[in-house]
Amino acid sequence: MVRRLIGYERYESDEALTLMRAIYQDWRLYVNLFQPVLKLVEKRRVGSKVRKRYDTARTPYQRVLESPNVSEKDKERLRQIYSVLNPVVLRQRIDESLEGLWNLAR
């Protein structure tokens, strides 16, 4: 699902730029660490229908920790970031920044 965070307003101030950077920095952490995603494993045609099979829902963070291609140093750095974050606080910070940005457009 694609989310429209900022909207279609025109923002030209330095304050708006600062808020947008904060929004997307927090949003990146929120989505990658706390939002599970279903990955398509198999797509097979059976007669006139297409059967899709999905992997279990996991966050990108969980997938990175399971990957053998990522170094243990990088995994430990991600674990440290994850341990200090609270998804509720992160989402509140995103919402507050969005509200501030939308108020600039009014």
Would you write out the chain's pLDDT as a tens digit for each of its 106 residues? 345 677 777 888 899 999 999 999 999 999 999 999 999 999 999 999 999 999 999 999 999 999 999 999 999 999 999 999 999 999 999 999 999 998 887 7
What pLDDT, on a 0 to 100 scale, did the predictor assign at position 59?
A: 96
Asked whether residue 63 is assigned to any structural domain, the reply reads yes
Count of domains forming the chain: 1
What pLDDT, on a 0 to 100 scale, did the predictor assign at position 54?
A: 96
Q: Which domain holds residue 91?
A: 14-105
What pLDDT, on a 0 to 100 scale, did the predictor assign at position 4?
A: 66
What pLDDT, on a 0 to 100 scale, did the predictor assign at position 12?
A: 86
The three-state (H, E, C) secondary structure of the chain, written as one string: CCCCCCCCCCCCCHHHHHHHHHHHHHHHHHHHHHCCECCEEEEEEECCEEEEEECCCECHHHHHHHCCCCCHHHHHHHHHHHHHCCHHHHHHHHHHHHHHHHHHHC
- Its pTM stands at 0.81
What pLDDT, on a 0 to 100 scale, did the predictor assign at position 104?
A: 87
Asked whether residue 1 is assigned to any structural domain, the reply reads no
